[in-house]
């Protein structure tokens, strides 16, 4: 009996074939990808806000240049991802409007305040470190344009993580006050960084289907565990204490056991009730309004150029 389109599609997925924009794909696959890629892109551009606040306050020219480069990279990551989303038929304008209308999600981590320079170091070290663990796995996602965007993004993320870890190293090996500042940043960002990987597998809404379609290659808990295992030795090198009294190496498992995540906090933040949700969306709205004239001018120029070409 002839295989259905869905069966042939799943066969291609199982055979590790990349799905390209013009290939047949179930509507649910398309919708799932638009959802995830849009949120990923929103996370990149909202993630520019907490760090952007510190470009003028960086302690040295070298730190300012590195942070400026990182924030510009994040804008580029957003562009790659919005472009990958558009190949699935979702308009960028519509998606950006959903973001500023508060109808779209972006990573919970960016709803926490960055009140000290050490927070910028901890973001690079922990947030970009977590993003690398998640995005390295996504380089093998079944949707071609998303996988290819990840390869480029991962190369730049490793610089982001390194510059953050270097900031934390200078502070942790600096004066007592600097080390204290680094410890406060670790205390603030550690648990929200673990929440970046999403709910636990038993509570994940999309994981089962996303794993079947190889949109996801590893589960939320697997990636979270990999991040903890990588990061604990780094904190030890810094001489900083991870704020988790249940953290301890489990020889039998070959992994670190760690404490219970505050899921109430997680769901409050993703519902819009985090410390900075309103501030982030207000800043995003203002950027969109202030940038409207640039967009209009660029589109008008492109239109005129196209007419001249056609004449
Ligand atoms: N923040 C906000 N929402 C989250 C979340 C988080 N940390 N974790 C999960 N959610 C949402 C999901 O979007 C989903 O809601 P939805 O149905 O409205 O979309 C719900 O919680 C249930 O979670 P699931 O586990 O079922 O959702 P997913 O299968 O989508 O898994 C994910 C969540 C692991 C974040 C996955 O979407 C993913 O891998 N996304 C791509 C990577 C990404 O977005 N990373 C964000 C950080 S990007 C970044 O850090 C930039 C760097 O340069 C600093």
Q: What is the pLDDT of residues 46-83, one digit of tens each?
A: 999 999 999 999 999 999 999 999 999 999 999 999 99
d(C-alpha 209, C-alpha 214), whole Å: 8
Q: Which of 32, 39, 48 to mutate to test the pocket of ligand 1 (most atoms within 8 A of CB)?
A: 39
Task: Give burial (CB, 10 Å; 0-12/13-18/19+) of 265.
Answer: middle
Nearest-CA residue for atom 10 of ligand 1: 198
pLDDT tens-digit profile of 155-190?
A: 999 999 999 999 999 999 999 999 999 999 999 999
**Max CA distance (Å), the chain:** 74
How many A from CA of 134 to the centre of ligand 1? 10
**Half-sphere exposure (Cβ direction) of 95: Cα atoms closer than 13 Å:** 27
Q: 6: Cβ–Cβ under 8 A, 6 or more apart, which residues?
A: 26
Give the DSSP H or E segment for 250.
Answer: strand 248-250
Predicted TM-score (pTM) of the model is 0.96
Mutate to test the pocket of ligand 1, among 29, 34, 36, 98 (most ligand atoms within 8 A of CB): 36
Strands 248-250 and 255-257: antiparallel
Residue ID of nearest Cα to ligand 1 atom 41: 40
pLDDT of 1 strictly over 80: no
What are the distances in angstroms from CA 303 to CA 196, 274, 296, 299, 306? Answer: 41, 42, 10, 6, 5
């Amino acid at each position: 009996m002839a295989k259905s389109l869905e069966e042939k599609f799943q066969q291609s997925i199982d055979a590790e074939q990349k799905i390209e924009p013009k290939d047949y794909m179930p509507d649910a696959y398309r919708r799932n990808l638009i959802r995830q890629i849009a949120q990923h892109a929103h996370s990149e551009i909202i993630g520019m806000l907490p760090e952007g606040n510190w470009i003028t306050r960086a302690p040295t020219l070298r730190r300012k240049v590195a942070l400026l480069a990182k924030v510009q990279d994040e804008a580029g990551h957003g562009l790659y991802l919005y472009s990958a989303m558009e190949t699935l038929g979702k308009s960028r304008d519509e998606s950006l409007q959903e973001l500023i209308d508060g109808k779209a999600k972006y990573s919970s981590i960016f709803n926490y305040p960055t009140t000290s320079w050490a927070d910028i170091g901890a973001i690079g070290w922990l947030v970009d470190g977590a993003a690398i663990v998640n995005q390295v796995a996504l380089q093998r996602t079944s949707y071609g344009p998303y996988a290819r965007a990840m390869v480029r993004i991962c190369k730049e993320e490793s610089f982001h993580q390194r510059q953050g870890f270097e900031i934390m190293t200078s502070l942790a090996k600096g004066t007592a006050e600097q080390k204290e500042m680094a410890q406060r940043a670790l205390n603030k960002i550690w648990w929200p960084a673990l929440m970046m990987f999403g709910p636990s597998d038993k509570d994940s809404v999309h994981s089962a289907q996303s794993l079947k379609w190889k949109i996801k290659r590893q589960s939320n808990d697997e990636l979270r565990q990999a991040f903890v295992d990588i990061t604990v030795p780094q904190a030890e090198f810094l001489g900083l204490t991870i704020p988790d009294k249940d953290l301890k190496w489990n020889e039998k498992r070959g992994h670190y056991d760690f404490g219970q995540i505050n899921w109430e906090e997680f769901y409050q933040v993703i519902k819009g009730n985090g410390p900075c949700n309103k501030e982030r969306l207000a800043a995003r709205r203002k950027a969109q309004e202030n940038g409207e004239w640039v967009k209009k001018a660029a589109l008008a120029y492109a239109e005129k150029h196209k007419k001249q070409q056609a004449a």
